[in-house]
Homo-oligomer: A and B are copies of this chain.
Amino acid sequence: MIQRPRGTRDFGPDEMEKRRHLEAAMRREAALFGFREIATPIFEHTELFTLRSGPNVVEEIYAFRDKGGREISLRPELTAPAMRFFVNELSNSARPLKMFYFGQCFRYERPQSGRFREFFQFGAELIGDPGPESDAEIIALAASIMRRIGLKQYTVRIGHIGVLRSMLADAGVDREAAPLILQKLDKKEYDEASQRMRDAGMDDERIEKVIEITNTVGPVEVLDRISGEAREHLLGIFRILQAYGIDNIQVDLGVVRGLDYYTGMVFEMDAPVLGAEKQICGGGSYSLTELFGGEKTFSTGFGIGFDRTLLALEKEGYQAPAHGIDVYVLPVGDNARQEAHRIAAQLRQAGIGTDIDLMGRSLSKSMKYANSINARLALIVGEKEMAQGAVTMRDMVTGEQTLVKREDLVATLEKL
């Protein structure tokens, strides 16, 4: 047997129904916020991803050379493609430009529980303005999506890249050393971070203060511990989010992103039910356009890990609505087959979900099959029924049977 490639998945009908249901709910919520969908190719020039994430990213992605000798890669994320599209074709759109997307991403890494080589991301970008209103809009959308899909437990942690950056700058750390320090702080590797800060010439008191700040987590009041623009910006965001009644928000000044293109607010969302791998969403404000050859543009956005979010929902006991079909048509005897097909054609055209015996099965076997596909009603079409210009309608749950005139059939079913 040929197997599917390692780290990928096939999705059967029940799984797909659940996934499409969730995807549609996310899409609807984004539309309610005035975001509109875009889509980009599955692969891009590798350069797009190395520009964003550095040359080492090639080690972790599906990078290959196509037959024309071009370096291309299966996309590991969707923000870089979306911003490439923006720079190429959408930069003259009215601002703010609000876009969302949903699709597969790929990374080459050892497959492990809950992490796949092909995974799905839902994300949104808001392009136009660096103000707290845009950041709040993005966070409100991410949180509203989680609320709408019915996730019971999740937290939003909001930080600001400017707090630590300005502390490092004030302490005389130069622009080259700062990103490496921030990366270590992001991973909470304090020994190495401290060593690097010492190497950059910081004294112990300042180092301690920086580490204290990365551990600043709590309600909006903890913002009193800092001052300046970042504080005002975060206060502005919290004020707006209040209007959304999202009460599971925290300040977390330890949310740090080492990369240069992050410009201010950063946030993460967790689903505690997932344990150690609990992050289900990450985002922030950034400026990538100039890296891709466009003008500097302020953007803010997020990516939701679709697979992990679904996993969190399921761990909380989420049950997708049971699958079923409205009607199963059973012809009894060969003479009834043509009439049965006519009925199926008519019902389907009227928008009534209809299946029909295609295997020439006996009545009892067909009933068993109708049960297995959760048909709500069976329509029995036999000689007796045809002689009366009617069909027998059987409720598959109660077993109750009624004779329905052929000409009343669609209207009767539409009323049920």
Contact = CB atoms under 8 A, between A and B. Distances in A.
Interface of A: 1-6, 8-13, 16-17, 19-20, 29, 31-34, 36-45, 47-48, 51, 62, 64-68, 70, 72, 74, 81, 84-85, 87-90, 94-96, 98-99, 104, 106, 108, 118, 126, 128-129, 131, 133-134, 136-137, 140, 144, 239-240, 243-245, 292-294, 323, 325, 337-338, 341-342, 344-345, 348-349, 351-356, 358-360, 369, 372-373
Nearest to A3: B88
- The main secondary structure of chain A at its interface with chain B is mixed
A56 B70 CA distance: 22
Contacts of A136: 341
Contact of A360 (B2, B29, B118, B131): B131
Contacts of A239: 338
Indicate how many identical chains form the complex. Answer: 2
A67 B144 CA distance: 39
Contacts of A243: 338, 341-342, 344-345
Contacts of A140: 345
Contacts of A34: 325, 353-356, 373
Nearest to A341: B243
Q: Could you say which of A95, A137, A240, A337 has the most chain B C-beta atoms within 10 Å of its C-beta?
A: A240
Given A292-B2, A353-B34, A134 B88 contact: no
